[in-house]
Copies of this chain bind each other. A is one copy, B any other.
Amino acid sequence: MNKLPSFVQIKEVGPRDGLQNEKKDLPTEDKVTWIDMLSNSGIKEIEFSSFVNPKWIPALADAREVGKQMKRNPDVRYSALVPNQKGLEFALEAGIDGASVFMSASETHNRKNINKSINDTFPVLKAVIEEAKQAGKYVTGYVSTVFDCPYEGRIEPESVVEICERLLEYGADDISLGDTIGSSVPSQVENLLEKVMVQLPKEKIIMHFHDTRGMAIANIMTSMQYGITHFDSSIGGLGGCPYAPGAAGNVATNDVLYLLHGLGIETGINDKKIQEASLFIQSKLGKVLPSRSLLASG
């Protein structure tokens, strides 16, 4: 087996990518309590909400309140999803440390999600990235459907590479490559990383897997064999998949930690605190979350 990294950094996306797909509205107070638990777990990056128009993501309409009420741990970077300059304005008011901009590697998915062509999205993201950087914020560029698109099927790695290069050129600090529908297998990961890594240093690549078909942990193993050390995940596997109702969405932080700690890879994250935060949000949502290791621990 190729040498694995000794340290891996996890970005917790449950409060944003997880909650945005949940049907049940969670009171702001519960979100804040939960994010405070995460802030004390050893996690170093938390995506706490989204400043997309609440019309599109009503579950996260309280992004500003959450940002203002949560207790900041100075060791944690708090980021939020930001679609445009208007969203950035609100996000800056809420005191974000990082702004996450986003677009899709699939033309059709981008149009359905952002209501713009890929070419028309670039200038919007450029403006947001430049303004966020001027404000001294960290910027992550999310690229979604990097393997397969629910409308177009297989996506060519070349289109992904081109988008990554442009976002970095605009000033993004790193890029999160999203398997939005959780369809990829390790050979696809290998194929994409081989192409992306010609242009991007591995430190600037975050892999964002969904476990919709149970492949996420194997895909993370493969990514680590390529030297990738940054992954997005969601507590308990919170989230689900908008394209397959009832199926799993984001890979569970719990399962990723089971893998990493089992392999002897350090994360700085306390398993027990993650367990507590998982049980908290599970009880607030009143449903069993899909994380396998969470289920096994209970």
- CB within 8 Å of B: which residues of A? 1, 182, 184-188, 190, 211-215, 217-218, 220-222, 225, 241, 244, 246-248, 252, 255, 258-259, 262-264, 288, 291-293, 295-298
Contacts and interface: CB of A to CB of B under 8 A. Distances in A.
A264 B190 CA distance: 14
A190 B1 contact: yes
A291 to B, nearest CB: 7
A244 B298 contact: yes
Given A214-B252, A215-B217, A185 B258 contact: yes
A236 to B, nearest CB: 12
Contacts of A217: 214-215, 217-218
- Give the 7 A-B CB pairs with smallest separation, nearest first: A214-B292, A185-B262, A247-B296, A213-B293, A214-B255, A218-B218, A244-B296
Nearest to A256: B214
Contacts of A296: 182, 212-213, 241, 244, 247-248
A1 B213 contact: no
Given A185-B262, A187-B263, 16 more contacts: A1-B222, A185-B258, A187-B262, A187-B264, A188-B262, A211-B214, A213-B258, A213-B293, A214-B217, A214-B252, A215-B217, A215-B259, A221-B222, A244-B296, A246-B295, A248-B296
11 contacts: A1-B186, A185-B258, A186-B221, A186-B259, A211-B292, A214-B214, A214-B255, A214-B258, A246-B298, A247-B292, A248-B295
Nearest to A288: B246
Most buried by B among A211, A221, A246: A221
A225 B221 CA distance: 12
Contact of A263 (B186, B225, B263, B288): B186
